[in-house]
């Protein structure tokens, strides 16, 4: 495939850029028309790559793009999953380039060429590798599989509409593996394949004190400040050992055997490099676990956003009426998102002091899942990546969540296979998202080889 990439890469860029230029931000209702535009463009690209049929299917939310190439019913079937929606680009002032005007440019830190823009990696850049690997195999007569594509437009907001569509189209989606590129590898030097993802429970908490904003001089000291109260509640959610202090939170967490922990510990990890990359002096996490374990096999709770009162320039002396926080909990397999959501709500209402009102909205949720390393698909992927990277990939546990995959696994009875080619440096969800060309091409090659080795 190397040769095919060399001959076609300018066209690849242009095709991918046509997707990246569409601001398909699922979190913002004003981008509704962009979602449809992006889905339609994706459909065109799949047809151009050689699919027999492709369609944009309405759902209760953003449309699903489905396409297929059925060569022979006796062949194995690969169901490629991806998502064409992206995260909001804010804060805009931190981008060096326009987030929706993609460019190829050198990484200022390393000099390596990369694609820069929102979605360059997550997930437009990664799903696009599948289109091109498929196109290559098809055009060169090497394709010996049936291939189905399902791309959704709500992954960044919880995949609310996809499960229903998958349930309604169970027969259409029959396959032998769900192939996904929407994750990262451990590092440049250490290719890895995710064999588990964390689940998610995401809630929004509103604390209300007085029914109006007040002059902080006239009332300060005499009534509870809802910001302070929210901070106190948040501060109480972790204990001294860095454990989440919600009763029952760890009840369903399966402790890994010493052997399994040793297997995970094979992945190289340099704490000094890690701290340097993040510019922090110390790490912090649950007592008794390594950094890799804290993000791989342990659940956690994070405040993703907080706001309240006066946040503009200068000094306004206000005792605000409300304060808000967005709180996400990453869950490990066997923890149910619905149960953790319930425990969180019960706990927060239980600790809410009598001088404030507390409201909690559920924003997103999904369960974690595990993928058996012993499967023939995992083994084929491992072989393919070893050929491209020169080292055997390490089985890893992704700290992130692709909630819908656990649901698809359950509805369709098919295991996902996570061949992700992102790197930490890509800063997905952040300003200056990018995707190294080296990984972009190595990903295409690995995917093409996977098809060849999985027979």
Task: Determine which residue in the list 2, 28, 139, 142 makes contact with its own copies, applying CB under 8 A.
Answer: 28
Give the binding range for its own copies (CB under 8 A) out of 78-86, 125-133, 144-152, 349-357.
349-357
Q: Which of residues 73-92 bind its own copies (CB under 8 A)?
A: 87-88, 90
Cα 442 from Cα 129, distance rounded (Å): 9
Q: Is 318 one of the binding residues for its own copies (CB under 8 A)?
A: yes
Residue among 398, 416, 420, 443 that touches its own copies (CB under 8 A): 398
- Residue 65, SS3 per DSSP: strand
CB 154 within 8 A of CB 61: yes
Of 3-11, 170-178, 257-265, 321-329, the window that binds its own copies (rule: CB under 8 A) is: 321-329
CA distance 337 to 366: 5
- Which of positions 192-221 make contact with its own copies (CB under 8 A)? 198, 200, 202, 204, 209-221
| Residue 402 CB-half CA count within 13 A | 28
The least CB distance from residue 413 to its own copies, in Å, is 26
Quickly list DSSP for 255-274: PPPHHHHHHHTTS---HHHH
Question: Please, which of residues 38-77 interact with its own copies by CB under 8 A?
Answer: none
Question: In this structure, are strands 192-197 and 394-398 parallel, antiparallel, or unpaired?
Answer: parallel
Determine which residue in the list 311, 372, 374, 413 makes contact with its own copies, applying CB under 8 A.
311
**Contact call for residue 282 and its own copies (CB under 8 A):** yes
Please give the distance of CA 375 from its chain centroid, rounded to a whole number: 24
Q: Which is nearer to its own copies, 17 or 219 (CB)?
A: 219
List the one residue from 153, 299, 395, 443 that touches its own copies (CB under 8 A).
Answer: 299
Give the burial class of 13: count Cβ atoms within 10 A of its Cβ; 0-12 exposed, 13-18 middle, 19 or more buried: middle
310 binds its own copies per the rule CB under 8 A: yes
Straight-line distance from the first to the last Cα atom of the chain, in angstroms, rounded to the nearest whole number: 18
* Residue 331 binding its own copies, by CB under 8 A: no
DSSP secondary structure, 191-233, as one string: -EEEEEE-EEEEEEEEEE-SSS-EEHHHHBTTB--HHHHHHHH
Closer residue to its own copies in complex, CB, 59/228: 228
Applying CB under 8 A, among 110, 140, 317, 338 the residue interacting with its own copies is 317
Q: Considering beta carbons, is residue 133 or 227 the nearer one to its own copies?
A: 227
- Which 364-393 residues touch its own copies, going by CB under 8 A? 364
Enumerate residues 6+ apart whose C-beta is below 8 A from 137.
143, 448, 451
| The binder of its own copies chosen from 1, 323, 414, 449 (CB under 8 A) | 323
Buried/exposed 28-45: b ≥16 CB within 10 Å, e otherwise: eeebeebbbebbebbbeb
270 binds its own copies (CB under 8 A): no
Rounded Cα gap, residues 448 and 136, in angstroms: 8
Would you say 58 or 217 has its CB closer to its own copies?
Answer: 217
Indicate the residue among 78 and 193 with the shorter CB distance to its own copies.
193
Name which of residues 127 to 186 contact its own copies (CB under 8 A). Answer: 156-158, 184
Radius of gyration for the alpha carbons in the chain, expressed in angstroms and rounded: 23
Q: Strand 199-208: give its sheet, edge to edge.
A: 322-331, 199-208, 357-366
- By the 8 A CB rule, do 298 and 286 touch? yes
Query: Using the rule CB under 8 A, is 29 a contact of its own copies?
Result: yes
**Binding of its own copies by 308 (CB under 8 A):** yes
Site string for its own copies, 232-251 (x = CB under 8 A): x-xxxxx-------------
The DSSP annotation for 329-387 comes to: EEE-TT--HHHHHHHHHHHHHHH--TTSEEEEEEEEEE--EE--TTSHHHHHHHHHHHH
Min dist. Cβ of residue 197 to its own copies (A): 8
Q: Which is nearer to its own copies, 171 or 313 (CB)?
A: 313
Interface pick for its own copies out of 73, 108, 141, 312 (rule CB under 8 A): 312
Closer residue to its own copies in complex, CB, 76/238: 238
**Taking contact as CB under 8 A, which single stretch among the options 43-51, 105-113, 272-280, 341-349 is the one that binds its own copies?**
272-280
DSSP H or E stretch at residue 126: helix 124-139
Question: Site residues for its own copies, window 92-131 (CB under 8 A)?
Answer: none
Chosen residue from 320, 366, 395, 420 binding its own copies by CB under 8 A: 320
Binding test (CB under 8 A) with its own copies, winner from 400, 416, 420, 443: 400
String of DSSP letters for 44-60: HHHHHHT-SEEEEE--S
Of the candidate spans 15-23, 43-51, 96-104, 426-434, the one that interacts with its own copies by CB under 8 A turns out to be 426-434
């Amino acid at each position: 495939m190397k040769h095919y990439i060399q001959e076609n890469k300018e066209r690849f860029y242009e095709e991918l850029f046509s997707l990246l230029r569409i601001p398909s931000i699922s979190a913002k209702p004003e981008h509704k028309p962009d979602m449809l535009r992006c889905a339609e463009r994706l459909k065109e690209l799949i047809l151009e790559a050689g699919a027999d049929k492709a369609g944009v299917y309405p759902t209760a939310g953003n449309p699903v793009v489905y396409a297929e190439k059925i060569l022979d019913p006796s062949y194995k079937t690969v169901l490629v999953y991806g998502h064409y929606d992206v995260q909001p680009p804010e804060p805009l002032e931190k981008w060096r380039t326009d987030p929706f005007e993609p460019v190829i440019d050198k990484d200022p830190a390393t000099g390596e060429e990369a694609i820069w823009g929102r979605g360059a990696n997550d997930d437009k850049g990664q799903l696009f590798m599948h289109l091109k690997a498929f196109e290559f195999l098809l055009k060169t007569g090497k394709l010996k599989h049936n291939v189905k594509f399902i791309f959704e437009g709500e992954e960044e907001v919880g995949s609310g509409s996809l499960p229903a569509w998958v349930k309604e189209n169970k027969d259409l989606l029959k396959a032998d593996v769900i192939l996904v590129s929407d994750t990262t590898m451990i590092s440049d030097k250490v290719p890895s394949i995710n064999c588990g993802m964390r689940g998610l429970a995401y809630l929004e908490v509103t604390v209300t004190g007085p029914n109006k904003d007040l002059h902080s001089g006239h009332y300060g000291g005499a009534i509870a400040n809802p910001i302070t109260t929210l901070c106190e509640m948040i501060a109480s959610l972790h204990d001294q050992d860095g454990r989440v202090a919600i009763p029952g939170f760890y009840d369903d967490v399966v402790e890994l055997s010493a052997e399994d922990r040793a297997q995970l510990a094979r992945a190289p990890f340099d704490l000094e490099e890690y701290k340097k990359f993040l510019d922090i002096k110390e790490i912090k996490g649950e007592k008794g676990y390594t950094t890799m374990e804290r993000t791989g096999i342990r659940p956690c709770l994070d405040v993703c956003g907080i706001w309240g009162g006066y946040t503009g320039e200068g000094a306004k002396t206000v005792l605000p009426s409300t304060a808000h926080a967005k709180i996400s909990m990453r869950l490990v397999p066997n923890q149910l998102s619905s149960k953790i959501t319930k425990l969180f709500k019960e706990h927060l209402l239980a600790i809410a002091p009598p001088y404030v009102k507390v409201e909690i909205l559920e924003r997103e949720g999904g369960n974690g899942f595990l993928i058996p390393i012993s499967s023939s698909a995992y083994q084929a992927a491992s072989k393919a990546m070893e050929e491209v990277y020169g080292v055997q990939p390490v089985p890893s546990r992704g700290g992130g969540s692709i909630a819908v995959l656990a649901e698809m696994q359950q509805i369709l009875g098919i295991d996902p296979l996570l061949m992700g080619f992102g790197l930490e440096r890509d800063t997905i969800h952040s300003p200056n998202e990018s995707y190294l060309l080296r990984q972009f091409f190595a990903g295409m090659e690995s995917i093409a080889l996977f098809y060849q080795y999985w027979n």
